[in-house]
Structures are given as C-alpha cells and as structure tokens.
Amino acid sequence: MALYDMVIAGARVIDPETGTDEILNTGINGGSIAALSRNSLAGRQEIDGGGLILAPGFIDIHTHEDTIEGGAGPLNKPLENRFFFPNTISVCAMRTGNTFIMGGNCGYSNYPMGAYLQKLEDLRLPINCMSLIGNVSLRQRLGLGDYDRASPAQIVKLKNMAAAALKEGAAGISFGLQYAPGTEFGELVALCSAAAEAGKFFAVHMRHDVPARALEGVEEVLAAAEITGAALQISHLASNVYGKNTAGENNIKKAALLIDKARKSGADIYVDVYPYNVWATSIQSAVFDQGFDEFNFGIEDLELISGEMAGRYCTPELFEKLRTAPEDTMVACHNAMPFEDIEAAYKLEYACVGSDALLTLSGDHIKGHPRSAGSPARFLKEFVREKKSFPLIEGLRKLTLNPAQRLGLEKKGRLQEGCDADLVLFDFEKIADRASYGIDACALPSEGIRALIAGGRLVHAGGTHES
C-alpha cells in the first residue's frame, strides 16, 4: 500500500466546488492532495479526523497585514521604504483557520511591491501571504495629500507605478476612496485600466459610508468596472452600505440589484464582509471629517485600540486631541451597522468572508480589532451554526472558493485530488471566536480549529479549549 506523507483519516470532507460532502480519508504528498478515498490510507503522519470537518483552508481576502504591524510612527503617513511584517496577523489568521491572507487593502500598501513580496518570502510565514498595491500609498509617494487632485501628468505616473507593482507580483490594486477623497473618477479609471491590462482586479473601500450616500459609492465602482472591464472586489460591503437611503429603501438590497445587474452583463464582481458590527479605522483619517450626524454611532462609541490609551473610550475632548496628535490612533467604532445588513450582505452568492484585520504591536502586547483573530470562526458560529443563514457548504464557499476564484487561484479554495494541501480540520459544533476587545484579548485563538495544514505541513494543532 502506498505510504503518504500525511493522512487525515475519517473526516467529513467538504468541497464547495464539486459538492463533495462525505466521510473520506485524505492522503497528502508534498504540498498536494494526492488521494481522497473511502478505503483506509497509510501515512507517515496520521491525523484522526473522526467527528470533524475537513475543508479547504480559509482565504482571507481582506487584511491589513502590511501597514500596521509594528505600529511605529503615525499610521496615516507615507510608508516609503519602511516595511511592516505580518508575523502577528498571519499567526492570528492561522489560528482561526486561514491558510491564505491578502494585505494591502483600502488603498494602503507597502512600496515598492517587489521588495515587499521578497521580504514576505524571506520571512517564511506559516501561511500564504500576498498583497495588493494601494492607490493612497502611491499618491503619498507623489506628495499628494488626501484631498489633492492628481494632475493629468500625475495620473499617468500613478498608473505607471501601479502597473509596475502588478508586474512585480501585486495581486491587484486597492483604493481607499474615502481616505483620499481627492481621488477623482478619472484617476480611478486610469488605475483600473492598469489592473484590466494586467488581467488583475481592483478592490475598493468606497467613497461613502453614510446611508444617504452609500449607493453613489456603489455606482461609482460599478462604472469603473464597466468602463475598464477590470474585475472588482467591493471591500467590506456592509460597513459602507447599510441602513436606508433617503427614499426609505434598504441600501443593501438596492446595492445587490445594481451588482447583480452588472454581473449578469458580464462584470466579474465579488464582495467581502466581516462578521462584526464594529468598524475600525484611524482617528485622523478623512472618515471623521464629516462629523457624526449621519453615523449610527457617536464619539462615545469609539474605543481606542492602539497606543498608550488602548481600551479607553473617547470623549469629545479626547477625540479633538487625538485628531491632531503627532501619533495617529486606531479606533473601533461600536454599533456601526445593523446585524441584518451584515447577514444580507453574506447571503449574496458572491460574498467572501474578509476580516479587515488590523493590529498593532507595542512591546509584547497586541492591540487591535478582534476580527483579526476571530472572523472565520465567528462567521461559522453565528451565521452558519446559530442563525442558519445558509447551509454549511455555502458558508464554506464564502471562506474558500469565492475568494480563490477572485484571486484566480485554481488549486486553492478547493478540496480535490491535485489541489494544494491547504486544509483546515475543525469541530463544527464547537467552532467559535474567542478574540474580543481589549489588549491581547483581540488576538486570542479561536476554539474548535483542530489542525491547520498549509503547503502539506501541519502548521497549527489546537484542542477545543486552547489557552
């Protein structure tokens, strides 16, 4: 009998692409799935999958692995030639079931991209990490402030820089239209055309996040996708599109109609959503320039999640002080959007679970939003097991196949012979996030992840009650 490098015996194997949902033995050789069989298999390393689910490793298409870790220096300042490494975020991601994370979102990334990707490789992280090139970071390289319009010559430069980054291996271009309101539609289109020419996609943190204007933001990105033909990833849909518009219509439902129409006419669109009703962003960002009148939350709902005062809630005085402090501060904005809108966004067949992970390190302590360490487990617990918003295989599709399709990864996000051995073994009855708000608590590993295999290697083994 053939001897495999590793065998996972008797797990319930689920593959969202083929619809496989069966107790099978899985044989792994090198970095690939070599056998899926009802017959017993022998391996040098054997893992008992009895009573557990074996799924493709989760793919987190939306993290901020790259710009935040280290937390040295203002978060909203240019990152020229400064590299931040995703050690902590990749470990947090791994311990909640991810075998792949994508950084460089919302317009912020490292630059130059080739050098950053080389650093990522040199780090030998436990899981796969990739990055987008961010338009706000490129604008900063040209000395453009958040509200500055780019001249035609600058737009050409930005496009060339983005195209070069794509050539160096960036997975796509990200935009932070709300963070750099000076980014005009023509600039967006010029850079999207670079993505289209490279056969890659663009990901957008849209321009508006107040209910009255949410749909304008959606229309803008759909128009850019239509004009350029570039594939589109709408970032954290439910945190920009929620509530009701001025006509009293449900924003998510209206946005879904617009996106569905574009998809039917051939546009390649996915969205990502994180399973929390709490935003996180930097207190000095343009997001707060508009005041709080149209938000669901107020200043007192802002919890500081970086810096010396992490854990404290804002007061109007503290808010004013931190807005202009020499060091920027990350904040979690509690009660930002209704649960029903998050659920409605997840119900879209083209939804992905993306954490929007944000962490900072200070000394030995980790500060940030718990979504960095809890998203997939929380999604499976709340939306699949408890609310039963959709069947398990559909939930897994949003964690695996959908993001793999967006990223053009043909051997990931799938559990089939010949695919990459990036796998997660978990207890569906026990899976739960443990990360919560607070210093270090934000990084607690999830419960119920029994084994994580990346590139054919066991990189994480957890019990039911990890400490």
Tokens matching residue 257: 């109609």
Give Cα 232 distance to the centre of its chain.
Answer: 14
- Does residue 173 bind Zn ion (CB under 5 A)? no
Least Å distance, CB 208 to Zn ion, is: 13
Closest CA to 337 of 208, 243, 245: 243
**Nearest distance from C-beta of residue 100 to Zn ion, angstroms:** 19
Q: Which residues, other chains included, contact 307 with Cβ-Cβ below 8 Å and sequence gap of 6+?
A: 327, 329, 330, 360, 362, 367
> Residue 344: phi, psi to the nearest 5?
-65, -40
| Shortest distance, position 291 Cβ to Zn ion, whole Å | 20
Q: Among the candidate windows 100-108, 136-144, 155-163, 414-422, which touches Zn ion by CB under 5 A?
A: 100-108
Considering only residues 41, 61, 91, 106, which one is a binding residue for Zn ion as defined by CB under 5 A?
106
Interaction with Zn ion in 194-233: which residues (CB under 5 A)? Answer: 205
239/341 Cα distance (integer angstroms)? 9
Cβ proximity to Zn ion, 205 vs 414, nearer residue: 205
Site string for Zn ion, 419-448 (x = CB under 5 A): ------------------------------
How far apart are alpha carbons 232 and 238 in whole angstroms?
16
* Nearer to Zn ion (CB atom), residue 191 or residue 444: 191
* Alpha-carbon span 305 to 290, nearest angstrom: 21
The nearest distance, CB 194 to Zn ion, in angstroms, is 21
Nearer to Zn ion, 207 or 450 (CB): 207
Region near Zn ion per CB under 5 A, out of 98-106, 335-343, 403-411, 412-420: 98-106
Query: How near is the Cβ of 236 to Zn ion at its closest, in Å?
Result: 6
> Which DSSP helix (H) or strand (E) runs through 160?
helix 152-167
Segment lying near Zn ion (by CB under 5 A), choices 10-18, 103-111, 412-420, 452-460:
103-111
CB of residue 137 to Zn ion, shortest distance in Å: 14
Q: Is 350 helix (H, G, I), strand (E, B) or coil?
A: coil
Q: Could you tell me which stretch among 3-11, 70-78, 101-109, 408-416 binds Zn ion (CB under 5 A)?
A: 101-109
Burial of 139 (0-12, 13-18, 19+ CB in 10 A): buried
Identity of the residue numbered 32: S
Contact 192, 202 (CB under 8 A): yes
Nearest CB to Zn ion, comparing residues 357 and 409:
357
Binding-site size, Zn ion (CB under 5 A):
2
What type of residue sits at position 173? I
Q: Residue 98 in contact with residue 57, Cβ under 8 Å?
A: yes
Which residues contact Zn ion (rule: CB under 5 A)?
106, 205
